[in-house]
Structure 1
């Protein structure tokens, strides 16, 4: 009869289930891809029923409008693509370096050959377990760069140096961020790294200077050419890179304001002016009178240095420079700090502890945390409270004594 359809005729997109020569069953169907094209995708099973279940899943995914990847990705090839096209254009240089190191040293060696769409939570968990047990010398291939007497695993005696918990957390975070982008680009349907639990970041609590120690430090550097830098660190809480990246154009000494708009970092052996740490780091801060006075003195000192150098002066516009006007290297600031803290009797403190001191002292004065957060440029109020706001033993004793007296 004309127009009659054979019982054996299949509709477009219906798919097939066939037996292969190797004994496996193959399910195949044309489905939409993330590139907007149609692609014949094959799934396999040990039995016809298993293959049919795979076919049903494939068609259900297509029916929900979820495309398949337009090409076959391994974890390694996808991470290379992600670093080049997603991370590098959008992230700060130091972040790019950290992500690239995690990918090159740990993720690619341990997961790189896996098919992206077949990556499972079990694979991620096993990778993290191996990271925790990994010898740093092997992971970073350090033995090849060492004299034979200093080599470790290549001589059969492991040094037992392992990755820190913070580094394991970073590796997991990098994979999680990469897979989340793969979900957005519809290359995978779920982020399996999110399904693996890992200990949260354990931020070390810094040590803050007491008011007496802060006064002692400023007294020690009072006649130093970097006195204003230490005053800004203690009284405004600026980060090291923000201090060294400060331009005179960022200051309005008449109105008493400072704008943080960039920082200076050493990246791959070169000094680079980069954007602040986060979008919250870009901020305008009022200047207290002592800081204005210190900056005016810095202006005068720099003018004297300019006149002394004459034509050899490098006009970079930075507030804190070398004696010839070039940018002040963060490594040289570290060296200056080591000598200064020794003179001040503060050997146990890091330079970053000056920022910690600034936040802690403001909180101790009863300044509302949200105000402290905006001055310090923290991205999250929890950072201000969780890392910097810790009570002293005397304050705890006073609080518990007050409660005891109230109940009594």
Structure 2
């Protein structure tokens, strides 16, 4: 299209007002062709240059326009909201994905997503491992691997299907060594002491018990509502991470947790009553006396401040879930562990199961050697 003169009485060379029009293609709902317009002031040559920019702008705004040209940074900004809108991930997962992709955007963010080459990514990997990060500290090999896997998934699930790239440049990138030490579960003594220390009056303690005795994630501990707690049958209704619709699945829990939750519910109702709040099914197990839910980040900071006096110095909150998985692996098969933990990848459960049973085998052989 050519710029349209808005001063018809003047020759083109002297016209200074123009109408820029860009076709938006066939509307699949109406079956009609649409267009976007805007006015421009300047010479004809300037109007033509403005029209070319306008065409590019409209093309990038069209979510179904084939061959859109986005930078890696723009692709990442579009990908996360897309998955949220499609109900494929939760807000907490979206925040993690954004953080991982931001680490990479620091190095390759301005590169067109469709022209990204493996050697560019490899250079970014070396830079992140060397300390070129937002914190100024070297990133671990484990974290960089998570960054690469997240970006690779973005290309496979979104960039390529949307026609924003024709190949996945992350497939041939050499991965760094996984260098994070394997987390150790709590000892039997630590578990017993921690359970004794947890009272039904403290909402943070309720989260600890849910993680240690039922394997809930930190965010799940904070968000669990009483309506999803069946204290008669000893059942928790928890999100099934394997299901795209985030349906709830029934998870049986051990008697010790049921006893604690009965006391917690009674104590919470008593605390709320003092402030004129009536406990309801919509309240969370970890709500305070005013009915306010516990923020997962606040829970994390509380654990870091208090873990030492609870006999868990250096222990991460997630290690409580890992401890539950390890204890389960001593008596349950991998498939059952996967169901209790609601893991998408059964290899995680198998790894825990194999690790625990290898320890048992080594202990048995050691006893034979002692004879």
TM-score (norm 2): 0.68
Q: Which residue of 2 aligns with 1:357?
A: 323
Q: Does 1:286 align with 2:252?
A: yes
Residues 399 and 310 from structure 1, CA distance in 2 versus in 1: closer, same or farther, beyond 3 angstroms?
Answer: same
For residues 323 and 308 of structure 2, the distance between their equivalents in structure 1, rounded to whole angstroms, comes to: 18
Q: 1:283 aligns to what SS in structure 2?
A: strand
Q: Which residue of 1 aligns with 2:151?
A: 175
Q: 1:193 aligns to what SS in structure 2?
A: coil
Q: Does 1:163 align with 2:139?
A: yes
Where do 1:62-211 residues align within 5 Å?
70-86=67-83, 89=86, 90-107=88-105, 109-136=106-133, 140=134, 161-180=137-156, 181-199=158-176, 204-211=181-188
1:327 Cα shift?
0.8
Maintained 8 Å contact 1:221/1:340? no
For residues 112 and 95 of structure 1, the distance between their equivalents in structure 2, rounded to whole angstroms, comes to: 21
Maintained 8 Å contact 1:360/1:389? no
1:301 Cα shift?
0.9
Which deviations, in whole Å up to 9, do the C-alpha atoms of 1:110-148 show, x marking residues without a partner? Answer: 334434443333333233233333433xxx3x7xxxxxx
Q: Does 1:246 align with 2:224?
A: yes
Maintained 8 Å contact 2:227/2:281? no
Which deviations, in whole Å up to 9, do the C-alpha atoms of 1:317-356 show, x marking residues without a partner? Answer: 1122112221123344345545654344332322222212
Structure whose CA Rg is larger:
1
Maintained 8 Å contact 1:257/1:287? yes
Q: Does 1:368 align with 2:330?
A: no
Residues 182 and 347 from structure 1, CA distance in 2 versus in 1: closer, same or farther, beyond 3 angstroms?
Answer: closer
Q: Which residue of 1 aligns with 2:22?
A: none
User: What stretches of structure 2 of length at least 5 have no aligned partner?
Assistant: 1-26, 29-64
For residues 209 and 75 of structure 2, the distance between their equivalents in structure 1, rounded to whole angstroms, comes to: 47
Residues 315 and 326 from structure 1, CA distance in 2 versus in 1: closer, same or farther, beyond 3 angstroms?
Answer: farther
Where do 1:308-323 residues align within 5 Å?
308-310=274-276, 317-323=283-289
For residues 343 and 126 of structure 1, the distance between their equivalents in structure 2, rounded to whole angstroms, comes to: 44
TM-score (norm 1): 0.63
User: What stretches of structure 1 of length at least 5 have no aligned partner?
Assistant: 1-34, 37-67, 143-158, 262-275
1:86 Cα shift?
4.9
